[in-house]
Amino acid sequence: MEAFINEIYDEFYIWVHIVYCLFLVLLVGGSFCISFFAKPVLFEIKIPNLRYSQTIALMQRFVYFAFVSLAIISTSGIFIAMGQNLHNGNPADNVIFHSMEGIWVIMMGIFIYIYIKLKEASKHLKNHEYIQSHENLELITRYLLVFNTFLGIVLIYFNILLGNNQC
């Protein structure tokens, strides 16, 4: 079985690396753009119902994309680990790779929390409770997405240290 995995890895490693790198950069770039560009523009809309509904719609689309991206990143990361046979290599590589796995888990947990907060904001918006909706959206855009952006940058740095791809 190990020979089969190594053979598949040798055939497709460049494509796996490209997909891994692409989705990682899209995820980090999307978090950055929403946090620092889209949020200030959306919060300038004067009509509260329109402001919060547009923000919630944008965030929901991004969270769905983030779930798919993290699933692809995790799957390709596992494929990379199996193909590079990290359990026989340098112990420092193992620490870095397991740290990357931990960051993926933390990022997924934060995106699940963002999804829950978006549902709460949507519920408050339907009840015309704009202050609660604003508080949930502010938590997401000011703190959670910025933290996820930072984690994504750390993940890219670890990826470069490990030498997993040619980004």
Number of domains in the chain: 1
pLDDT tens string 77-128: 777 777 666 555 666 667 777 788 889 889 989 999 999 999 999 999 999 9
Nearest to 72 by CA among 19, 10, 6, 32: 19
Cα 113 to Cα 14: distance, rounded to the nearest angstrom: 33
167 occurs within a structural domain: no
Domain residues for the domain of 98 are 2-162
pLDDT tens string 37-62: 887 887 788 888 888 888 899 999 99
For residues 149-160, one letter each, b for 16 or more C-beta atoms within 10 angstroms of the residue's C-beta and e for the rest, the string is bebbeebbebbe
138 occurs within a structural domain: yes
